[in-house]
Amino acid sequence: MDEAFDLVILGSGSTAFAAALRAQELGRTVVMTESRTLGGTCVSRGCLPSKNLIEAARVYWDALHPRFPGLHPQGMELDFPALVRQKDQLVEAYREKRYASLVRDSDRIRVYEGHARFTPDGAVEVDGRRLHGQHYLIATGSRPAVPPVEGLDRVPYLTSDLLTSGESEELRELPASLVILGGGYIALELGQMFSRFGVKVTLLQRSRRILAGHEPEVSQALTGVLADEGIRIVTGVAVDSVREVDGQVEVLAQRAGQPTTYRADRLLVATGRVPNTDGLGLEHAGVRTDERGFVVVDEYLRTTAPNVWAAGDVIDHHADAQLATPVGAHDGVLVAMNAFSGELRRADHSVIPRTIFTDPQVATVGLTEAEAHARGHRCTCSSVPMDLVPRAGAVRDTRGVIKMVLDADTRRVIGVSMVGRDAGEVIHEAAMAIRLGATVHDFIDLVHVYPTMAEALKIVALSFFKDPGRLSCCAE
């Protein structure tokens, strides 16, 4: 069966939906394909379910570890299967409201289930249908990477797909102990979550510190927080193999030239993500991928094939993008506009705020000190501990640090990294400031609400000129 549409999209996640909805607004017809679950990773097994369970773990932890003298620990019964059920209900409700209903109510958007692939004649084939488009968008996203570790194919292990709903990968019972391979955001978010639910967690990281791409101050601060909560973080570990011993998983590794062994009830692999580009027949369409399988695009998100675009996780860092749901959604809209509006716009990924939902949160925007130097900036930096932020002291949560990176010649702020309470909210002020070219003096001159965590930005800006530990409240 042959069908024709203005836009054929491989995928149905946030990038795909953003493109489909904008194309619909432009009066175009759209078809999306989906081989797994409508809505893609974010709603089904990523952002939504993880943040739901992470918050539940925070509530449980805070009840057992109150920060205020005069508040005594309260026992709280933990029913993990019930938490999983409420998470599933939330995911299903959100998928229905934000995804399925939008397709059902539209006369211009369709979704076909099945594995889609390009055919030698340039069409897209899915479930016996041949789809022809004026334009095509590859938005198939990414999945957890599985490292080439000996024995991993013979040992049951978890990935971030444990957060899924209604699939065999979903974890419904808590293990007593867990070994995690990886030291990135997924490993840290899930590691703290499981630890707060009472699981004994050991985290193995190949590099010398967690969050190796972040500021050293960020890694140091978060390492201390997680260690204080009882998480065992082991860095500089090279994993040789894994095996199953007496119903547990055993990880055989090398550390400082010495063989070491780590054992736990379950193993979680969180070593990055790979693109869902295998089996798409991209070679038939003339779409080039890099050595890791990510689709190569230009600054307009065009692939190497005429009228074929790509966006979202599937392009990785090409066009200076990042693997993040809002980046994909932003770029999905841009693809629809570039394809059908008659005017090409470059993808602007110069200012992308990011948050890691540990407690406290890690939030970043712009360049790190190392990145600034690598790009030729003559930069200057300053860091301030959270115990100098009045709000942090008032709520008795002084964990963390904030760091600001300036271009020394213009005094413009080019990067901010923060570990602290509500950092994911605070970082948007920094993002807008960087977007508008603000200087360090703009942060100082802006009157901030007292006491708020956003004051951390003003305090670290002041630290370039004076000792912030010797200021009265609200003083400049």
Least confident of 168-172, 200-204, 287-291: 168-172
Residue 472 pLDDT more than 90?
no
Structure letter (DSSP) for residue 449: P
Mean pLDDT of 273-282: 97
Altogether, the residues listed in the chain come to a count of 476
Which amino acid, residue 164?
A: T
Could you tell me what percent of the chain has a pLDDT over 90? Answer: 97
What's residue 147's pLDDT?
A: 95
C-alpha–C-alpha distance, residues 425 and 333, integer Å:
24
Measured CA angle at 42 (ends 36, 43), to 5 deg: 75
Q: Cβ distance 454 to 447 under 8 Å?
A: no
pLDDT in tens, 11-30: 999 999 999 999 999 999 99
Could you tell me what percent of the chain has a pLDDT over 70? Answer: 100
Give the confidence band of 342 by pLDDT, cuts at 50, 70, 90: confident
Cis previous bond, 451, omega within 30: yes
Q: How many CA atoms lie within 13 A of 466 on its CB side?
A: 11
C-alpha–C-alpha distance, residues 155 and 267, integer Å:
9
pLDDT in tens, 240-261: 999 999 999 999 999 999 999 9
Residue that is written with structure tokens 């948050």 in the block: 355
Least confident of 70-74, 264-268, 361-365: 70-74
C-alpha–C-alpha distance, residues 280 and 284, integer Å:
9
| Entry pTM | 0.96
Domains located in the chain, CATH noted: 2-143+274-340 (3.50.50.60), 152-271 (3.50.50.60), 354-470 (3.30.390.30)
Residue that is written with structure tokens 């506009």 in the block: 337
Mean pLDDT of 426-438: 98
What's residue 474's pLDDT?
A: 77
- Comparing C-alpha atoms, which of 175, 182, 166 is closest to residue 197? 175
C-alpha–C-alpha distance, residues 96 and 81, integer Å:
23
Give the residue, 61 or 472, on which the prediction is more confident: 61
